Amino acid sequence: MDNLKSLDNLIENLYKLPGVGKKSAERMAFSLLEFPQEDLDEIANAISELKKKIHFCPICGMITDIDGCYICDDKNREEDTIMVVCFPKDVLSIERSGAFHGQYHVLNGEISLSKGMDVSSLNIDSLLDRVEKGNFKEIILATNPTVDGETTAAYLNKLLEKYNVNVTRLAYGLQIGGNLDYVDPLTLSKALEGRHKI
Amino acid sequence: MDNLKSLDNLIENLYKLPGVGKKSAERMAFSLLEFPQEDLDEIANAISELKKKIHFCPICGMITDIDGCYICDDKNREEDTIMVVCFPKDVLSIERSGAFHGQYHVLNGEISLSKGMDVSSLNIDSLLDRVEKGNFKEIILATNPTVDGETTAAYLNKLLEKYNVNVTRLAYGLQIGGNLDYVDPLTLSKALEGRHKI
């Protein structure tokens, strides 16, 4: 049945999506066969329209679909703290926590030793520019707690040394609701190191 | 960031796909942001075009995108055996095994006790019609080895009693490459029942 071209074509295309294997793509395609045409059109439209309005904010590098940026334009946010993250989705995660009300700066990438150092493609110049011209008291380097994230943080920390600003890093430790049995030894030792009085 | 409409819209739409949770939909959407526009258009097109050409073969009930049907039109296939399956994807699975070269009949559903008996919506009348007018020696009821599949097979077997044709069922037993440790007791007892001389 290599003949059902539209089905095969869809399976091939769904297979391009991250986290979708050959078998899932097939299951999805067969299930889409049972969707009404208007739903298919709606999904198709959402995919093809996705990038048409989205661009990067020239100030913070976050994705936006308006002239300005939802965060940079928000006058209610604190203006003396800036959190540096690697990817736009990190902003969503942190916003969801509701714990941060300052500015963001999105690097749109991270230094990857495995893929070769790629500093030039990162949104770093505009960060230094903002720090130099702005009046920030603290810069939180919220890159991932991975080798690449740590490397990126160390690189930024070096660059930021010459400015009169506190550079901080998010705390390492146990995950809320986690189980000590399943915590890796490095995290456990970091959690112990960072213990606090109750 | 509930403001990025095109992104939110895509996440909502991807979330409709089977097996895609909220988190996967979000990950997919962010990864699609990095796809070139032409790839997005291609995926979108594959989704919206999917059903436009696909329809059911009036003879066997399999999906097809041509006037006839790839299987019914194939004169090299055996004409005296017919395999009854519940869904079009079952035909693909069996074709992939290369073990069957006869005709198919796709019910496009199965009798579901949990969802209420739904015999009328199944492609059964045309099966009886084919059996009556055709010259079949064997009908293989290849419905799933589940409660619904067994119920469907039992129902069909009853209907087919009056025709002079052998009605068979696929064998139960161990999966090739499987491990005895992980086989459920019912399958194991069926495998024992159906043991054969080596």
Using the beta-carbon criterion (under 8 Å), do A7 and B40 form an inter-chain contact?
Answer: no
* Identity of the residue numbered B124: I
- The answer to whether B124 touches B156, Cβ cutoff 8 Å, is yes
Rounded Cα–Cα distance for residues A123 and A155 (Å): 13
Cβ contacts of B4 on chain A, cutoff 8 Å: 54, 63-65, 70
pLDDT band at B1 (very low <50, low <70, confident <90, very high): low
Report pLDDT for A15: 93
Cβ neighbours, 10 Å, residue B136 = 19
Dihedral over Cα of B147, B148, B150, B155: its sign = positive
List C-alpha distances in Å: A14 to B24, B39, B91.
14, 11, 21
Number of A–B residue contacts, CB under 8 Å: 166
Q: Which of A30, A44, A89 sits opposite B88 (nearest CB)?
A: A30
CA A46 to chain centre: 21
Work out the mean pLDDT of chain A and round it to a whole number. 89
Q: What is the pLDDT of residues B152-190, one digit of tens each?
A: 999 999 999 999 999 998 888 888 777 878 788 888 888
Chain B: nearest CA to A57, how far in angstroms?
A: 12
Distance (Å, whole) CA B25 – CA A106: 21
CA distance B43 to B46: 5
Residues A5-26 have a mean pLDDT of 90
- The neighbouring-strand residues paired with B166 are B138
pLDDT tens for A18-32 read: 889 998 999 899 999
* Residue scoring higher pLDDT (A105 or B134): A105
Name chain B contacts of A87, Cβ cutoff 8 Å. 30
Torsion, Cα of A88, A94, A100, A105 (10° steps):
-20
Q: What pLDDT, on a 0 to 100 scale, did the predictor assign at position A123?
A: 94
Q: Considering only the beta carbons, identify the residue of B9, B27, B30 that sits closest to A46.
A: B9
Compute φ and ψ for A168, nearest 5 degrees: -125, 170
Distance CA B75, CA B66 (A): 16
Note the pLDDT of residue A197: 76
More confident residue, B178 or B119: B119
Which chain A residue has its CA at the smallest distance from B11's CA? Answer: A46
Choose the closest CB to B45 out of A26, A32, A44.
A44
The residue of chain A nearest to residue B87, with distances taken between CA atoms, is: A30
Q: Closest partner residue to A6 among B12, B29, B50, by Cβ?
A: B50
A13 and B43: CB-CB below 8 Å? yes
The pLDDT, as a whole number, for residue A1 is 52
Cβ-Cβ contacts under 8 Å for A92 (sequence gap 6 or more): B1, B26
For Cα atoms B72, B77, B83, give the angle at the middle one, nearest 5 degrees.
70
Chain B residue numbers with beta carbons less than 8 Å from the beta carbon of A3 are: 65-66, 70
**pLDDT value at residue B2:** 57
CA B184/CA B181 separation, integer angstroms? 8
Minimal Cα distance from B98: which residue of A? A1
- Residue B14 pLDDT grade (very low, low, confident, very high; cuts 50, 70, 90): very high
How far does the CA of residue B104 sit from the closest CA of chain A (Å)?
Answer: 13
Which pLDDT belongs to residue B190?
Answer: 82
A6 contacts in B (CB within 8 Å)?
46, 49-54, 65
A9, A28, A89: residue with CB nearest B30: A89
Nearest residue in A to B24, CA atom? A19
Residue of A nearest to B88 (CA): A30
pLDDT at A2: 57
B1 contacts: CB under 8 Å, gap ≥ 6:
A70, A71, A91, A92, A95
The alpha-carbon gap from A170 to the nearest alpha carbon of chain B, in Å, equals: 21
Q: Cβ distance A176 to A97 under 8 Å?
A: no
- Please, which pLDDT band fits residue A190 given cuts at 50, 70 and 90? confident
Prediction ipTM score: 0.75
* Rounded CA separation B182/B152 (Å): 27
Confidence (pLDDT) at A129: 95
B10 and A89 within 8 Å at the Cβ level: the answer is no
* Token reading at A24: 């899932």
Note the pLDDT of residue B170: 87
Other beta carbons within 10 angstroms of residue B33's beta carbon come to 18
Q: What is the DSSP string of A21-78?
A: -HHHHHHHHHHHTTS-HHHHHHHHHHHHHHHHH-EE-TTT--EESSSS-TTTT-TTS-
**A90-129, pLDDT tens digit by residue?**
998 888 888 899 999 999 999 988 877 678 889 999 999 9
Tell me which DSSP letter residue B180 carries.
Answer: G
Arithmetic mean of pLDDT, B106-134: 89
Which residue from B minimizes the CA distance to A64? B4
Tell me: pLDDT of B58 over 60: yes
Distance from CA of B57 to the nearest CA of A (A): 12
Decide if A3 and B66 are in contact by the 8 Å CB cutoff: yes
Q: Which of A147-151, B99-103, B159-163, B180-184 has the lowest mean pLDDT?
A: B180-184
Query: Among partner residues A28, A53, A95, which is closest to B18 by beta-carbon distance?
Result: A28
**Nearest CB partner across the interface for A47, out of B20, B44, B51:** B44
| pLDDT range class, residue A60, cuts 50, 70, 90 | very high
Residue of A nearest to B71 (CA): A1
**pLDDT at residue B63 tops 70:** yes
The pLDDT of residue A46 is above 80: yes
pTM over 0.80: no
N-terminal to C-terminal alpha carbon distance within chain A: 66
The pLDDT value recorded for residue A64 is 92
